[in-house]
Amino acid sequence: MSEIKTIIVNRSAYADNDLEANALRAYLKEKGTFVVNLMSSPGAGKTTTLTKLINALKNEYRIGVMEADIDSDVDAISIAKNTGVKSIQLHTSGMCHLDAGMTKSGLDSIDINDLDLVFLENVGNLVCPAEFDTGASLDIMILSVPEGDDKPLKYPLVFEKCDLVIINKIDTLEYFDFNLEKCTEWIKRRNKNATIIPISAKTGQGIELVAKYFKEKIRNWKEN
For its own copies, the closer CB: 117 or 158? 158
Question: Around Cβ 124, how many Cβ atoms within 10 Å?
Answer: 20
Count the helices and strands in the chain (H runs, E runs). Answer: 8, 8
**Residue of 17, 28, 34, 69 that binds its own copies (CB under 8 A):** 69
- Give the residue with the Cβ less far from its own copies, 139 or 147: 147
Does 123 contact its own copies by CB under 8 A? yes
Across the beta sheet with 34-40, the strand order is 5-8, 86-91, 63-69, 117-121, 34-40, 138-144, 164-168, 195-198
Contact flag: residue 144 with its own copies (CB under 8 A):
yes
What minimum distance in Å lies between the beta carbon of 16 and its own copies?
19
**Smallest separation, CB 157 to its own copies (Å):** 7
The 23-62 site mask, x for binding its own copies (CB under 8 A), equals ------------------xxx-------------------
- Between the alpha carbon of residue 84 and those of residues 1, 96, 157, 162, the distances in Å are 11, 28, 34, 28
Q: Is 127 near its own copies (CB under 8 A)?
A: yes
Q: Establish if 71 lies at the interface with its own copies (CB under 8 A).
A: yes
Residue 42 · residue 127 · CB < 8 Å: no
Q: Is the distance from CB of 184 to CB of 191 less than 8 angstroms?
A: no
Q: Which stretch binds its own copies (CB under 8 A): 9-17, 67-75, 113-121, 203-211?
A: 67-75
Nearest distance in Å: CB 77, its own copies: 11
Report angle CA 124, 81, 5 to the nearest 5 degrees: 65
Q: Which of 150, 185, 208, 216 binds its own copies (CB under 8 A)?
A: 150
Residue 96 has a CB neighbour count (10 Å cut-off) of 15
Under rule CB under 8 A, residue 74 binds its own copies? yes
From the list 30-38, 99-107, 169-177, 205-213, the region that binds its own copies by CB under 8 A is 169-177
Sign of CA dihedral 23, 25, 30, 33: positive
